[in-house]
Structure 1
């Protein structure tokens, strides 16, 4: 108690530390265009919107303005002022996606110099607020827009989404856009960006989209024609949308025990050689999306990555883990202000390494199971066709070697023998008697003294070359052409071989 009194006695005064407006210059530096727009959609969802229109306005294929329009509950004058206040934290409901009171400002100033918000709450007049980044970074000033302008903006909002209440956020004086002189490059950049935005929104909000709680449309058009454009619905991209598991024991819940909590991790193994949307995300290889998928109120915060629990590798590309327990966010998993990526607390990290499922499977075993499925899928499973049984003229060792490699047709056999044939010929196919004849004139070229089972290398090569023609019911045109080819080439080769021996 004495130490406390002494500590209190050390205090001479208290002052309030007001943040420097210069911090605005660093707002949103880690936001991509995709993540920034997703943050605005978060606000729409918190406002109970069921429809959101993301509009990319262009001029000569250059992006000049971004608009996000929703049919949520809207804001009155006081609420709109609070929304523009940096760091203002309203009373967040447990189901809200907002968290830091920075989302609107950080998302916007990461990509534009002018932020305008038009809104109307039910049974309230429309209102407007505007912040210029340069002014805001000096003194946090915000413009209150005229009632006339707010009513005009409200009519425009209703043309996009016909609802009494709602909000329209506008980014103008954009940064981080294509500014080159090439129209074709501008069009390619815009195409890539719009596709990337659609895929990002599709995966981040895949749960509310697939359950029809939320509809998002993306419009891209020249400014003067944007009101005539028909938006393209953003499709759900579910990272766990496989039809059948790649392993019969999965998905499996592994429970992470911490103090009085058990946090479930839902561990999945995708089927091998998957090449569908969901495994691929945004057109990128599924190998890039192994790891943890962290949800907060059905909103995806992290799209893959092992968060230092494991290392990424090609063999683990089928492994994905869903963390969906709201108790984890904040206590065990720290979320950044851009809501893209999280950091595991050390205690949670360590607890995962000791976590097990009800049937005793550890997290390490899950990774090994995923690696095994991937490894097995890469093994060749080609089945060899049955081949004719080697018989007379083949040594026992050669017959045994052939039988070990090929399934054998037991009631069909092939003999390989020597007989005297005209000069210049080396082999003849006796299909009727299942015999491959070799010209005895040239036997000495391959063996110093002849025997029934001589020249095993030569006979093995000829067996592998010719056995298939003896396995059919008759000699077809293709078989006859092959036999003519063999006779011509091998006949010329053996004559050439003989002349070389004679020169020696």
Structure 2
């Protein structure tokens, strides 16, 4: 009787090429490798990105428990563990793919050395070019100490136990460029900086505290980046909540970060994170203290906006919640289960409301309500429930232009035309797509800023304001109040010029 099934083993070369397309970038790929080191109870992880053109290499070494020959072979198998299998509550893995897919997404040759005391060093290699050349479709995992140099093999005997990964033939990152290609070398270094920022963020809770680990990149220890700035007294944490979904308990805590006036400029710059203040608002999802999602409103119908940028909310998940939260292989995406959406929306609204109040209190809206009418070029009006923006006719420069204009009717018509054609829909769309993409007024144009400052100051003086009064008005006026150092220099020049004229006048007298 013939068999009722066929054996349909996947071709090794073909499947490996497909696994390379999971979408890892270099920082997320290396973070996946660090997960394995932490699971192996490593206290130190050393990552080196070594530039040598097409011979460039990345090494990842740890001092964890290491693996025996048998354990290493199992770890090198694609799908080495079922995502449905029971795991330790502290396990950072899930799919049994991380080390392999993360590595081969960037290299065509992955070599792993491992040693679990007191055994000898075990060596295994996946070489995609070798597998493709055999044309057998076999999953040939190369082995033996002769695969590596004496220098490479000598890394682990210095430790009681541990593991080293070598990524060679970095076709995705480097390709076939020469070592003296300055553009490629610059890109290589930029990716190293991105790795540093990403690891500092993803593992910040592992890099601090009594049992902290250390991650070293190119010989330098990575310092943690805490998105919640918990070491600063000015941070306002809201009460924590515990929610339950599908049998898993979820811990949620919101943090309202301080306005920049409450902290030093250095701390404010640090708090912005790799992508800027606006991009880093929202929920931060952690799985066993490891960051998965850094700043996202999780499809809850909320946009990233300037006045909510001080709100950051921490969600702590156990790894038993992986399926309900749709954790992906790269551990870079998560989506809340439907039954939690209303609670998360409620918590987000409270946090966003708190952040908005701080921002409005300290920012421009309150200035518009209580400031000098001359301070703002644009005024905000509401008629019949609709919003309009008008140019402030009381602004000193606008008033001067209208008074000095040869054709005042044409000047007023121009102002009306500008007001009626403010591209509000386009501004809203651009802000939603790229909330940190708007430049400051006169950004990169200090010469034009200076000319505008001089024109407004001159208009104030022509209206009869004394120099000191005109200077005070300038200090509180948009957009000059965003450039205090330039205003100070400008006013110093005015003061010096006035003093020189007084001296000259007294000399004539």
- Does the pair score TM above 0.5? yes
Matched residue count: 372
Q: For residues 296 and 327 of structure 1, what CA distance do their matches in structure 2 show?
A: 6
Between structures 1 and 2, the one with greater helix share: 2
> Counterpart of 1:70?
62
- Alignment check: 8 A CA contact 1:50 1:213 kept: yes
> Counterpart of 1:168?
164
TM-score normalised according to structure 1 size: 0.65
Instruction: Give structure 1 stretches of 5+ with no counterpart.
Output: 1-11, 220-230, 356-361, 386-459, 470-475, 487-504
Q: For residues 278 and 98 of structure 1, what CA distance do their matches in structure 2 show?
A: 30
- Alignment check: 8 A CA contact 2:37 2:62 kept: yes
- Alignment check: 8 A CA contact 1:120 1:165 kept: yes
> Residue 314 of structure 1 is aligned with which of 286, 306, 309?
306
Question: How far apart are 1:251 and its partner, in Å?
Answer: 2.6
1:67-466 → structure 2 map (5 Å cutoff): 67-89=59-81, 92-134=87-129, 139=137, 141-147=139-145, 152=150, 155-158=153-156, 162-178=158-174, 183-211=181-209, 212-219=211-218, 231-244=219-232, 250-256=237-243, 258=245, 263-273=250-260, 276=267, 278-282=270-274, 284-309=275-300, 310-326=302-318, 329-353=321-345, 355=346, 362-379=347-364, 464-465=465-466
Change in CA separation of 1:82 and 1:465 when aligned onto 2, cut-off 3 Å: same
Change in CA separation of 1:86 and 1:155 when aligned onto 2, cut-off 3 Å: closer
Between structures 1 and 2, the one with greater strand share: 1
- Alignment check: 8 A CA contact 2:288 2:319 kept: no
Q: For residues 182 and 96 of structure 2, what CA distance do their matches in structure 1 show?
A: 40
Q: For residues 28 and 72 of structure 1, what CA distance do their matches in structure 2 show?
A: 27
> Is residue 2:41 matched to residue 1:36?
no
Between Structure 1 and Structure 2, whose CA radius of gyration is higher? 1
| Deviations 1:57-109, CA, capped at 9 Å, x for gaps | 2215x671111011111111111110111101176322111111000111011
| Deviations 1:447-489, CA, capped at 9 Å, x for gaps | xxxxxxxxxxxxx9866448969xxxxxx99888889999xxx
Secondary structure of the equivalent of 1:193? helix
Question: How far apart are 1:204 and its partner, in Å?
Answer: 0.8
> Is residue 2:52 matched to residue 1:59?
yes
> Counterpart of 1:8?
none
Change in CA separation of 1:46 and 1:203 when aligned onto 2, cut-off 3 Å: same
Instruction: Give structure 2 stretches of 5+ with no counterpart.
Output: 373-460, 471-494
> Counterpart of 2:394?
none
Q: Which stretch has the larger CA shift, 128-137 or 176-185?
A: 176-185
| Deviations 1:145-191, CA, capped at 9 Å, x for gaps | 224557946752147xx312111111111122245567332332122
- Alignment check: 8 A CA contact 1:126 1:151 kept: no
Change in CA separation of 1:258 and 1:141 when aligned onto 2, cut-off 3 Å: closer
| Deviations 1:301-342, CA, capped at 9 Å, x for gaps | 111111102222222211111011316732531211011121
Change in CA separation of 1:466 and 1:107 when aligned onto 2, cut-off 3 Å: closer
Q: Which stretch has the larger CA shift, 172-181 or 376-385?
A: 376-385
TM-score normalised according to structure 2 size: 0.64
Q: For residues 95 and 34 of structure 1, what CA distance do their matches in structure 2 show?
A: 22
RMSD between superposed Cα atoms in Å: 3.7
Secondary structure of the equivalent of 1:236? coil
> Counterpart of 1:27?
19
